[in-house]
Structure 1
Amino acid sequence: MDKMLRRGSTIAFFISPALFLYSAIVFIPILASIYLSFYNWDVLNPMKFIGLDNYTRMFSDDDVFFVTIRNILFLLATSLIIQLPFGFFLALLLTGNVRGKDFFKLVFVMPAFLSSVAVGMMWTFIYNPQIGIINHLLDGLGLSSLKHLWLSDPQTVMWAVTIVVSWQFIGYTMILFIAAIQNISEEIFEAARLEGATGWKLVWHITLPLLKPIIKVNTILISIGSLRFFDLIYVMTGGGPANVSQTLVGYLQKRSFAQMEYGYGNSLSVILLLMCLIVTFAINQIIPTKDLDD
């Protein structure tokens, strides 16, 4: 039996159903998108091959495209800056001797499991300039001069959205850190304490180095999630005002399904795929974990 399971043909037989399914839902659609990006197609009329015209138009004549790139890079940077350190700090607190830590874990992680549509609608009301709680709080604190049209001002809309994104997903980042911290052997900490390490020295010299693999995982998840973010922003702003908060996926959806430019929409999806691959490769180079695996 063991000899049969080591045969390449047997292995191929058992993995072929999963490989076929994975190819059907991942590789084939990717290849189809790349293929369609070289065509002009509105579904109603026959496809017309136009070569690289979609990409040429994207980089030379489409100002909204560059706005979407700026927005997703802004969302990526701010999400990393907020979610990684705060998620790690919360994980440190909730793996210590804190009363009611199971309750707080639930409180912090719950938003990550809520529907992004529901979260977007809730925060739209919170930011509402007339009935929103934020402006009412500013009134109550005597800071009426700080009241704002949070989702209508081009200067504040992306910051307002970023706060909501971080609020929703910081608990998910925290849970991954908690799982990794609890997986560190207590013997390592005891040995470090015998050498005189305490407090933040333990965190800096023991916890952080051993968390490098999960830091990489969190960084990749946050980065890829930011690049392809869509639903929450679509609910809160619809990409407005005047495409100021538009994301690449939102713009892809608009050009493909609202304006029936499926060839151009697929070219945008190819750019998104390339960005995800480049960011993942860059993170793997910046945060190597081979030394820990060895």
Structure 2
Amino acid sequence: MERMLRNKSAIILFLLPALLLYTAIVFIPIVASIYFSFFKWDVISPMKFIGMDNYTRMFTRDSVFFTSIKNMMILLFVSLVIQQGLGFLLAILITGSIKGKEWFKNIFFFPAVISSVAVGMMWSFIYNPEIGMLNKLLDVLGMSSLANDWLSQPDTAMWAVSFVVGWQYLGYTMILYIAAIQNIPAHIFESARIDGAVGWKVVWHMTIPLVQPIMKVTTILITIGSLKFFDLVFVMTGGGPANQTQVLASYLYGRSFRQFEYGYGDALSVILLLMCLVATVLINMIFRKSSIEY
């Protein structure tokens, strides 16, 4: 085995299929998107080179682009609050001494394995202003004044969709935190209790610092997932009303495959790629100096 690991030719031979596959389905499409973003093209007419015009139009004349960026930030904020905050809290409770922890774990994780189309349709019925469960519940609780047409009002539509995204993937983040907490050696907690640390002091001073590697991973996953999110927005609102729930992924889809502006759609995808790369670098920089090993 050691001889094989020292054999560079063998290493290259084993890596070559994966590298070729990665190049074919990731690297080449990225390069092609960057190239086509400098053209005006509707598939039918010949491609026309327009240089930076797509990017100039995006940042100077396209108000929907800025709306999609704002909506992405709303989605990111809600996802971080629900998935990181509530996901970590649930992980703490479930790894504790509560009864039925396996049942709770399965219940909270179940939405993550359901099809996003099914989730979107289910919550569209829940938010329905006439027959939806949410408005009926508010009426039963005597808060009928809060009833709303949740997905049709610009002020509430994006927040409603963002809550569903956080709800669906809450269990996924919770499972990652549970694995990280259970991987912490028991003697660390025992030493902390001997020193007088109890309850939330243990969580704040021991658990949180020791799960920071997983916290970085979940933050990156949630951030990248929020920036490129598409399916629930497409199913629940289609970007409406009046483009008020457009996110960048749904907007570039509409520009590319509904309005046949493939060059402009590629320019939007390049901006999305850059945002994901910048977000990943920033998160790594933030967590770099705060990691603790045990």
Q: What's the TM-score bracket when you normalise by the shorter of the two chains?
A: over 0.9
Cα deviation for residue 3 of structure 1 reads 3.1
Moved over 6 A (4+): none
Corresponding position of 2:225: 225
What is the match of residue 180 of structure 1? 180
Distance in 2, matches of 1:184 and 1:258, equals 50
Report the CA distance between 1:293 and its aligned residue. 5.2
Greater CA drift, 139-148 or 102-111: 139-148
Uncovered stretches (5+) of structure 2, i.e. residues with no partner: none
Provide Cα deviations, 1:55-105, integer angstroms capped at 9, x if missing partner.
Answer: 011111111001001100111122112221110100001001111110110
Between the aligned partners of 2:289 and 2:120, the Cα distance in structure 1 is: 36
Q: 8 Å contact 2:41–2:263 — kept in the other structure?
A: yes
Q: Counterparts of 1:141 and 1:190 in 2: how far apart (Å)?
A: 45
Distance 2:95 2:142 in 1: 39
Aligned residues: 294
Q: 2:216 corresponds to which residue?
A: 216
CA RMSD of aligned residues (A): 1.3
Q: C-alpha distance in 2, partners of 1:164/1:291?
A: 31
Number of the residue aligned with 2:244: 244
Residue 34 of structure 1 is matched in structure 2 by 34
1:145 maps to which residue? 145
Calculate the TM-score normalised by the size of structure 1. 0.97
Deviation at 1:146, TM superposition (A): 1.5
User: Quick check: 1:213–1:289 contact (8 Å CA) kept in 2?
Assistant: no
The residue type paired with residue 208 of structure 1 is: I
Question: Post-superposition shift, 1:5?
Answer: 3.3
Q: Does structure 2 conserve the Cα–Cα contact (< 8 Å) formed by 1:212 and 1:289?
A: no
Q: CA deviation at 1:292?
A: 2.9
Deviation at 1:174, TM superposition (A): 0.4
For residues 235-290 of structure 1, the C-alpha deviation after alignment (integer angstroms, 9 at most, x for no partner) is 11111100001110100000000001100000000000000001111111111267
> Which residue of structure 1 lines up, in the alignment, with residue 255 of structure 2?
255
Counterpart Cα distance in 2 of 1:289 and 1:19: 32
CA distance in 1, matches of 2:239, 2:56: 24
Query: What is the CA–CA distance in structure 2 between the aligned matches of 1:291 and 1:151, rounded to whole Å?
Result: 41
Unaligned runs of 5+ in 1: none
One-letter amino acid matched to 1:85: G
Which amino acid in the other structure matches residue 118 of structure 1? A
